[in-house]
Amino acid sequence: MTEKATFGAGCFWGVEAAFRKIDGVLEATSGYSGGRVKDPSYGDVCTGTTGHAEVVEVEYDPGRVSYEELLETFWNEHDPTQVNRQGPDVGTQYRSAIFFHSPEQEAAARASLEAAQARFKKPIATEITPVSEFYRAEEYHQRYFEKGLLSRFFSF
């Protein structure tokens, strides 16, 4: 039986690639969640008016990888102290967010945030909220690094 986890950690391309490397992750899909517009496009989300975050929906086998291990990857893949940005990417769509799928995930996420705070000088800005509708991003965003020019120089 598989489970799902959903994370927003800035631009979804690198986050998706990081989760794909984990043994036990069966699928990592780039998309949008946390907004109020039905079936938004990338262009819609980039306006910052839909309320969506760029996210990665992770389907995983909990017998091979724990939710806590996925949370560790989440913390390691971005700077959760930045508000509505990651590096040069600025806007609410790049916010740090954990969208939990169950009360157990919520509890684990909150405990993980508390433990992670010790690694950062600034307060963590990550929002922890119930999962909302997930919208798969356009096909050209899926496995972006594997398809793009960067894959010629780096192995993901």
Which residues are catalytically annotated? 11
User: Are the CB atoms for 22 and 81 separated by under 8 Å?
Assistant: no
Q: Determine the 3-state secondary structure of 90 from DSSP.
A: strand
Q: Which two tokens stand for residue 86?
A: 């990651």
Q: Determine the 3-state secondary structure of 131 from DSSP.
A: coil
> Alpha helix (H) ranges present in 62-152?
67-76, 103-117, 144-147
